[in-house]
Structure 1
Amino acid sequence: MLSIPLKKSDPVDLYRPLRYLVARKYSESDAQSVESILETLNKCRSDMVGRGDLSLPMQRDCLIHYFKCLCMVDPLFTAISSDSHSDPIVFVWYDAFYSEHENGVSSQRNSIQLEKAAVLFNLGAIYSQIGASCDRTTALGRHLAMDAFNAAAKFFSELWKVFAKDISATLDLTLLFTETLHHLFSAQASELKLQQQLHDNNNAARSALQQHIIAVSFKSRAYDLILSDSAATEHVFSFDRTWITHCYQKMKFFRVEACQRRSSILPKSQLPKTSSLVQSCPLDHDAESVTEKLVSGSCSRADLSIPKVDGIDLDLILSEYSPFKIMEGGKLVANPWDMPPPYPTNFSILSPPSPSSSSSSSSSLILAFPFKKSEPLDFYESLRNYFVLKYSESMAERVEGLLQMLNKLRGEMLRDDLSLPMRRDCLIRYLKCLCMIEPLFPMTTSPNPPIFIWYDAFNPQQDSSQHNIHLEKASVLFNLGALSTHIALSCDLTNTFGQRMAIDALNDASHWFLKLTHEAEKTSATIDLSISCVQMLREILTAQIAELECKFPGSRYISFSAASPVLNLSRRALHRLWSMKSKTRRFKFTCIDVSHKFLRGYCEAQSLLSEGCLPPCLDLLSEAGPVMIKDGNLVANL
């Protein structure tokens, strides 16, 4: 498997000229409100350029943090290029493969596009090195390597299709070279998927043949691109002549294999078409180890525990685990990329208005849903005994940390004395842990399987008692939705910030209840978890969001320009008329100051990185995560 080196760069001070620009163009108070972001931006770049002692996962974390900061300060570079009073920022980057070459240095003034392109290249390079360093003799190692090569391919795809078009740079950042690297790492991911299928003695011949064809297609494309350009061929020869030989030999091998499989496995009419997309291969259900089984659960349902909220993300305000924060007064804070969570959070930003305040009538627009209650449960003993009986004592010890965390989180999430933000963090982390252990259920061989007992949120006299883990997950999703409505109720609706936060919280609640509809199909429980009840709650939320949008027209939003739709939505919710097809509307806010521009940049960075570029499985390699893979064991940060 091939991996590529990182691009190198000369140091540059970003803090001083950018802070000076903000203070002069906006105000000193604006400069103070984003000072932490600028300091973190400078530290990330310094560590990215100068620290050679970082592990591959830590280099990845640093680059991701830096890329988010870069996207946040993007508007400043538009301003600084036309500002005669500001000192120019000169970015110097060297060709990753051959920096001594006469065309091996790229230097541009104030070009944040060059900086972004170089960072994306290095993210692709880091993922290629992570993939090559994985132990591919195990199913878990192959899965991690496959995800890493897929991530590398997607970063080079972004470079090729978006970022490399508008910069004058070294050969490694040209359209031809970035497209070549995209195809190369897609081919390596495809190889590993094929290897996994053959290792599992997979009888799906159609799928195996498809992988052969994909591997040939991608390797051939990468090979042809290099040979089609004399400068690119000369460039490859200058750093490693074996690259072209490597691609040619593998392409030849896979072509022969594909021909053999095509002739011996399937009739011509059933041959699959060549696909240009390589998807990650899930770990086999009968995993080789407990760690692999738990990781497969985490990866397969990663989308379940990720809130999708447009506008200002609640995590930036409420979560102890978000590295970027919005503090009281709109000040932006960036926690160091290399400081493990939890981070200090100012929870005073949520303060329920008093009944006598002028906002009490506004707060009456919001209906907070009650929480589901549950009986205490000792998760640790039942799960550990299961591992000992089904596997071995040593296997149980390998996941000891995860089981302890799972047990602690379940107890904490039922506490009524936690603040709303802390309870939200606890529920989300517990949901992620539940996704990890889901492949273990049903625990048919366990002498004492865990029994989940949950009470109806609206009628506590009714309860449901099951061994079904989907009851547990559905109940946690319900409480996340209910908690978001309590957050919305606690917002001060007399100011724009509180209005926006309340609407985001209700959108967050709608997201969790949407996820609940999929989970509720897998369990028969109390009425509050039924599909019809969850749909009714989502319609109530939609009506409340619409009402808030009409009540506070100062912000620019889409649709709902009159009060009549609110009345219609409320009637539909009350009468459970499920014919409504419209989706929850999202706010779109005008950027009124530098902080808002920074937040818009952050959202754009999140969107780009979340679209397949950051596989959840590889987050388990991060040294700053709550659960990580270390020496084949799952280690938990309690």
Structure 2
Amino acid sequence: MVEPRADLSLPMQLDCLLHYFKCLSMVARLFTSLSSDADPILFVWYDAFNPDHQDGVSSQRSAIQLEKAAVVFNLGAIYSQIAASCDRTTALGRHLAMEAFKVAANFFRQLWQVFAKDVVATLDLTLVFAEFLHLLFSAQASELELREELNNNDASYALQQHRCALLFRSVYELYSRAYELIPTDSAARKHVDSFDQTWVTHLYQKATFFEAEASQRQSSILPKSERPRKFRSVTSCALDHDAECVPEILVRGICCRVRKVLYEDRKQTYIDLNLSEYNPFKMMKYGKLVAYPWDMPPPYPTDLAILSSSLVSLSSDILAFIPLKKSEPLNLYESLRSYFVLKYSESVAERVDGLLEMLHKLRNEMLRDDLSLPLRRDCLMRYYKCLCMIEPFFPMNASPNPPIFVWYNAINPQQHSSQHNIHLEKASVLFNLAAICTHIALSCDLTTVQGRRLAMDAKKDATYWFYLMSMFESRKASGTIDVSRHYFHVLDFQFHHLELMFRVPQPHEPSLSGYPVSAYYPSTSGPPLAYDPSSDVTQQFVLGYSTAHSLLQRVCRAAPCLDLLSEVSPVKIKDGNLVANAAT
């Protein structure tokens, strides 16, 4: 993170900072317990707006707070640089920039409200500067949203004018509040004048323009009683409604659908620490944390030692392993590419060729029987994201060779469903995600706290995937009984039994040490489970990681489009084209 490397792109720098922030949060508790006579760990940071890097500030009393505040500042700065580098002459570029500015504003809000408090630091980490940067990037995100609304041809003229009047007023208030912060603080004003005096002038001109425009539009459209008095929070909007660019339509598909499916604020931390390939470290057997070499490209070697070699013996009334659904092979690449050539052109097909290749590759991978459960889970999740991208083009009525999805009943393999229906494909993928999670949950070592937490997270994931299948895809897909809403309701009661079996005792509950587990959880069998959270260092680390993970999800949850810039995305945006990510 510190070493200047010209070969690191902005997304790679971002991934590094995000990983480092999670690791910092894991060890943060250790800094509060360091004795006064121990050699302190000092973090030295320089002012971001001072090009000479003078007057660096170190902190001993709140060392970890300074380090985390500086990392959060840099996360906001990287997102602002990503936003500024987007091509805002296109709908896709404006949408990427808007999302990046929103995330930057969210990071600076966290800096202002949480991380910069009680930190003796340079002026760029003071509360006034953090609030100023939060308002500045919120204003720029709102300005881009306003530009999208001005290009919106979907709404009626009166409704569009009403929305624009509200947005003009919101943008004015944000720029105005940002401008008022700096001149009223002598230290901040002196600091701004030392690196670039045009900042204040720019803000004043922006506020003046948007105030005049908002007043004109409101006076002609809105009655006085309906004029807004406070800022309306910025929400992500769709791309241009009349966009004819196929990559933009595909990106719109992942923005509209993946947000509600894969970006919920879920806290299944253990399953990601044990099974995901894209964390900076993994938890191995007996709770040992092992870091990945930073320069090691994915896929990383997966150690499944935490999964027991034999199945957990279960009573007859407890859910057994849910079998995976089988599917017939399908050449998605040829059928989709011929459709884009026929409906659009050869050049359009070339622009999305990377996505079509990745779809074909992921579908073949998910059908392999030799993949480990974690690898298959990651493959299915990436494939589901790609399916969300192509969903707007279904049904492909203009295609002479539409893809036909064939899936067999997981409960009765003699039955199958054959349809040109992408919702059948998505429902089947969600079913297999849930089935894999039940396999993982039921093969964990329940005699350890880590094993139980992993099992509980896997069970929650399974319930979540089944819920999504029943709520969104099953309603639009008439497949076999295993992907129906009725099947999920049948499983729901049995999942409750699993939750009792996997549940980890909390600190306020009676200690189970020396007592049979079955005395507290009748559905569980096995040796006694001792749990002392105060002496469980690994548990303290995971709690810190969970806090950081939840924070980052909350800050970035409204920006699924930005994931297409990530190094771990199955498809990446490059020069307006969708290309397959070689790393995956």
TM-score, length-scaled by structure 1: 0.81
Query: Counterparts in 2 of 1:36-75, with a 5 A limit?
Result: 47-75=1-29
The alpha-carbon deviation at position 182 of structure 1 amounts to: 0.5
Alignment of 1:503 onto 2:503: no
Q: Aligned letter for 1:131?
A: A
Give the stretch that moved more between structures: 105-114 or 259-268: 259-268
Contact 2:101-2:141 within 8 A present in 1 as well:
yes
Q: Say which of 545, 552, 556 aligns to 1:602.
A: 545
2:67 aligns with 115
Query: Counterparts in 2 of 1:380-391, with a 5 A limit?
Result: 380-391=333-344
Relative distance call for 1:339 and 1:297 in structure 2 (3 A) is: farther
Alignment of 1:131 onto 2:83: yes
Relative distance call for 1:321 and 1:172 in structure 2 (3 A) is: closer
Q: Say which of 326, 331, 348 aligns to 1:373.
A: 326
Q: Say which of 468, 481, 484 aligns to 1:527.
A: 481
Alignment of 1:279 onto 2:235: yes
Q: Aligned letter for 1:602?
A: Y
Relative distance call for 1:513 and 1:404 in structure 2 (3 A) is: same
Query: Counterparts in 2 of 1:231-630, with a 5 A limit?
Result: 231-268=187-224, 271=227, 274-303=230-259, 304-305=261-262, 310=267, 312-337=269-294, 339-353=296-310, 360=313, 365-519=318-472, 520-549=474-503, 590=533, 592-613=535-556, 615-630=559-574
Q: Distance in 1 between matches of 2:256 and 2:481?
A: 28
Question: Cα deviation per residue 1:453-498 (whole Å; 9 max; x = unaligned)?
Answer: 2233223344333322122111111111111111122223344433
Contact 2:47-2:56 within 8 A present in 1 as well:
yes
2:144 aligns with 192
Give 3-state SS (helix, strand or coil) of 1:313's partner: helix
Q: Say which of 104, 121, 134 aligns to 1:152.
A: 104
Relative distance call for 1:384 and 1:99 in structure 2 (3 A) is: closer
Paired residues, number: 561
Q: Distance in 1 between matches of 2:177 and 2:577?
A: 39
Q: Aligned letter for 2:178?
A: A
Give 3-state SS (helix, strand or coil) of 1:620's partner: helix
Relative distance call for 1:531 and 1:363 in structure 2 (3 A) is: closer
Contact 2:453-2:502 within 8 A present in 1 as well:
no
Contact 1:206-1:271 within 8 A present in 2 as well:
no
The alpha-carbon deviation at position 556 of structure 1 amounts to: 6.8
Identity of aligned residues (%): 60
Q: Distance in 1 between matches of 2:396 and 2:21?
A: 43
Relative distance call for 1:167 and 1:313 in structure 2 (3 A) is: same
Give 3-state SS (helix, strand or coil) of 1:325's partner: strand
* Structure 1: 5+ residue stretches without partners: 1-46, 568-587
* Structure 2: 5+ residue stretches without partners: 511-516, 524-530
Relative distance call for 1:336 and 1:271 in structure 2 (3 A) is: farther
Contact 2:441-2:455 within 8 A present in 1 as well:
yes
Question: Cα deviation per residue 1:92-111 (whole Å; 9 max; x = unaligned)?
Answer: 21221236699x53221261
Contact 2:445-2:452 within 8 A present in 1 as well:
yes
Contact 1:95-1:171 within 8 A present in 2 as well:
yes
Question: Cα deviation per residue 1:84-128 (whole Å; 9 max; x = unaligned)?
Answer: 2x32222221221236699x5322126100111011111111111
RMSD after superposition: 2.8
Alignment of 1:171 onto 2:123: yes
Q: Distance in 2 between matches of 1:418 and 1:54?
A: 32
Give the stretch that moved more between structures: 528-537 or 373-382: 528-537
The alpha-carbon deviation at position 159 of structure 1 amounts to: 0.6
Q: Distance in 2 between matches of 1:320 and 1:251?
A: 46
1:635 aligns with 579
Contact 1:462-1:526 within 8 A present in 2 as well:
yes
The alpha-carbon deviation at position 274 of structure 1 amounts to: 4.1
Q: Aligned letter for 1:211?
A: L
The alpha-carbon deviation at position 372 of structure 1 amounts to: 2.2
Relative distance call for 1:611 and 1:554 in structure 2 (3 A) is: closer
Give the stretch that moved more between structures: 146-155 or 199-208: 199-208
Give the stretch that moved more between structures: 51-60 or 362-371: 362-371
Contact 1:96-1:172 within 8 A present in 2 as well:
yes
Q: Say which of 38, 41, 44 aligns to 1:89.
A: 41
Give the stretch that moved more between structures: 404-413 or 305-314: 305-314
Q: Distance in 2 between matches of 1:441 and 1:333?
A: 44
Relative distance call for 1:541 and 1:231 in structure 2 (3 A) is: same
Q: Distance in 1 between matches of 2:39 and 2:329?
A: 62
1:18 aligns with none
Q: Distance in 1 between matches of 2:14 and 2:178?
A: 25
Relative distance call for 1:563 and 1:594 in structure 2 (3 A) is: closer
The alpha-carbon deviation at position 49 of structure 1 amounts to: 4.3
The alpha-carbon deviation at position 306 of structure 1 amounts to: 5.2
TM-score, length-scaled by structure 2: 0.88
Question: Cα deviation per residue 1:310-369 (whole Å; 9 max; x = unaligned)?
Answer: 364212212333332112232212224454421111123323426xxxx53579845222
Give 3-state SS (helix, strand or coil) of 2:578's partner: strand
Contact 1:506-1:541 within 8 A present in 2 as well:
yes
Question: Cα deviation per residue 1:564-609 (whole Å; 9 max; x = unaligned)?
Answer: 9989xxxxxxxxxxxxxxxxxxxx9835333222222111111111
Contact 1:409-1:426 within 8 A present in 2 as well:
yes
Q: Aligned letter for 2:13?
A: Q
Give 3-state SS (helix, strand or coil) of 2:116's partner: helix
Q: Aligned letter for 1:316?
A: L
Contact 1:62-1:338 within 8 A present in 2 as well:
no
Q: Aligned letter for 1:384?
A: R
Give 3-state SS (helix, strand or coil) of 1:609's partner: helix
Q: Distance in 1 between matches of 2:238 and 2:212?
A: 27
Q: Distance in 1 between matches of 2:240 and 2:103?
A: 21
Q: Say which of 51, 57, 67 aligns to 1:106.
A: 57
Q: Aligned letter for 1:630?
A: K
